[in-house]
């Protein structure tokens, strides 16, 4: 379609949507640099809230816990997910279709249901609440994302490459480490970043599974919002949004490179 009033209206519409999507986040970020504790204007620049936040033991502890859980989730989900993707790609076996369909429920079922079900079950088998329960839950939520991302990359993999390597005398390990893995590496990196984001941003499942006083950042923020919050929460929220957007930006770059190479 060429230049016309309709196209212009469309572009303005797109611009308005971007404003709608970003304005609240930018306002929140701006308020974390505003001196007034009651969000009063005029704006007065100050980094006090970041200093307060850095001195808040609860926030720091929750931040460290969130990052550690996200890293552990990323490591476990990436390894298990990549292994499963390779198996699903490499072999034909009865029930394969069912295994692929089973990846859908953890993504599609609202987290409220999954989270409460995990809580009930983990109590019944004695795991209860706490960091191990949160980690088990996060890995389960991240796994389907890793498998889908790595499988997408694998689908463009030419199996004859492996055969060629093998015919020239490479053993199974060499084929895997020199041919297969380098090819799917962008998919694995993207999957790992997805896993990190799923865990780091996860609120609902963490909320039901974490012990009071032993919570992740989003759970801490939720509790703070309901008790009456201060711009300290804006400061930590601004940091979280920056981190997760950066991670997702990288993931998008990697999965795109994965597709175009």
Partner 1 sequence: MADLVTPAERRRLYTLLSPAYLWLMVAVFLPLSAMLFFSFLTDMPQDAPDWGVTLGNYAEFLSNPTYGTLMAKSLKLAVTVTLFCILIGYPCALVLAKSIKGRAREALFLMVILPFWSNSLVRIFSWAIVLRGNGVLERAINWVLPFDVRLNLMFTTDAVVIGLVHSYLPYVILTSYLALQAVDDDLIDAARSMGASKLTILRRILLPLSLPGLLAGAVLVFVPVVGSFMEPRILGGRMGTYYGTVIEDQFVAVYNWPLGAALSFILLAVVIVILAAASPVLKRAQT
Q: Which stretch binds partner 1 (CB under 8 A): 46-54, 67-75, 183-191, 215-223?
A: 215-223
Question: How far apart are alpha carbons 199 and 141 in whole angstroms?
Answer: 8
34: phi then psi, degrees, rounded to nearest 5: -100, 135
Q: Does 60 bind partner 1 (CB under 8 A)?
A: no
Q: Does 201 bind partner 1 (CB under 8 A)?
A: yes
Output the CA angle 136-152-105, nearest 5 degrees.
Answer: 40
Q: Which stretch binds partner 1 (CB under 8 A): 45-53, 56-64, 178-186, 197-205?
A: 197-205
Asked if 88 contacts 147 with a C-beta cutoff of 8 angstroms, the reply is yes
- Residues 126 to 185 in contact with partner 1, rule: CB under 8 A: 136-137, 139-140, 143-144, 147, 159
- Residues 36 to 55 in contact with partner 1, rule: CB under 8 A: 39, 41
Q: Which is nearer to partner 1, 169 or 228 (CB)?
A: 228
3-state secondary structure (DSSP) of residue 45: strand
The distance of closest approach from Cβ of residue 159 to partner 1 in the complex, given in angstroms and rounded to an integer, is 7
Q: Does 257 bind partner 1 (CB under 8 A)?
A: no
120: phi then psi, degrees, rounded to nearest 5: -60, -45
Output the CA angle 134-218-195, nearest 5 degrees.
Answer: 55
Query: Which one of 53, 190, 192, 221 is in contact with partner 1 (CB under 8 A)?
Result: 221
Question: How far apart are alpha carbons 261 and 259 in whole angstroms?
Answer: 6
The distance of closest approach from Cβ of residue 152 to partner 1 in the complex, given in angstroms and rounded to an integer, is 12
Q: Does 121 bind partner 1 (CB under 8 A)?
A: yes
The distance of closest approach from Cβ of residue 201 to partner 1 in the complex, given in angstroms and rounded to an integer, is 4
Q: Which stretch binds partner 1 (CB under 8 A): 44-52, 53-61, 108-116, 179-187?
A: 108-116
The distance of closest approach from Cβ of residue 61 to partner 1 in the complex, given in angstroms and rounded to an integer, is 18
The angle, 0 to 180 degrees and rounded to 10, between the axes of the packed helices 131-154 and 231-260 is 30
Query: In a 10 Å sphere around its CB, with 0-12 CB exposed, 13-18 middle and 19+ buried, how is residue 18 labelled?
Result: exposed
Burial 101-118 (b: 16+ CB within 10 A, else e): eebeebeeeebeebbeeb
Across-strand partners of 243? none
3-state secondary structure (DSSP) of residue 2: coil
The distance of closest approach from Cβ of residue 182 to partner 1 in the complex, given in angstroms and rounded to an integer, is 19
Question: How far apart are alpha carbons 225 and 28 in whole angstroms?
Answer: 13
**CA-closest candidate to residue 252, choices 193, 170, 171:** 193
Q: Which is nearer to partner 1, 61 or 152 (CB)?
A: 152
Q: Does 56 bind partner 1 (CB under 8 A)?
A: no
- Residues 63 to 102 in contact with partner 1, rule: CB under 8 A: 80-81, 83-84, 86-93, 99, 102
Query: Which one of 61, 71, 175, 241 is in contact with partner 1 (CB under 8 A)?
Result: 241
Query: Which one of 59, 62, 63, 118 is in contact with partner 1 (CB under 8 A)?
Result: 118
The distance of closest approach from Cβ of residue 248 to partner 1 in the complex, given in angstroms and rounded to an integer, is 4
């Amino acid at each position: 379609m060429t230049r016309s009033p309709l196209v212009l209206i469309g572009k303005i519409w797109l611009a308005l949507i971007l404003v709608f999507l970003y304005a609240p986040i930018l306002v929140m970020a701006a308020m974390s640099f505003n001196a007034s504790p009651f969000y009063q204007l005029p704006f007065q620049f100050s980094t006090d809230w970041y200093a307060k936040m850095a001195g808040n033991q609860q926030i720091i502890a929750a931040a460290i816990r969130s990052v550690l859980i996200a890293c552990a989730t990323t490591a476990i989900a990436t390894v298990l997910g990549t292994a499963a993707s390779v198996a699903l790609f490499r072999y034909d076996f009865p029930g394969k279709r069912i295994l692929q369909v089973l990846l859908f429920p953890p993504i599609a079922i609202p987290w409220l249901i999954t989270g409460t079900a995990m809580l009930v079950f983990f109590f019944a088998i004695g795991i209860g609440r706490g960091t191990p329960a949160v980690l088990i839950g996060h890995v389960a939520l991240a796994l389907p994302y890793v498998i889908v991302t790595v499988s997408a990359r694998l689908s463009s993999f030419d199996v004859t490459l492996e055969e060629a390597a093998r015919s020239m005398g490479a053993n199974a390990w060499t084929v895997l480490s020199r041919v297969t893995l380098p090819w799917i590496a962008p998919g694995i990196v993207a999957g790992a970043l997805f896993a990190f984001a799923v865990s780091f941003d996860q609120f609902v499942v963490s909320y039901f599974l974490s012990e009071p006083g032993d919570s992740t950042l989003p759970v801490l923020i939720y509790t703070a919002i309901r008790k009456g919050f201060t711009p300290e929460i804006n400061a930590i929220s601004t940091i979280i949004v920056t981190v997760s957007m950066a991670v997702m930006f990288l993931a998008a770059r990697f999965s795109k490179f994965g597709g175009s190479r």
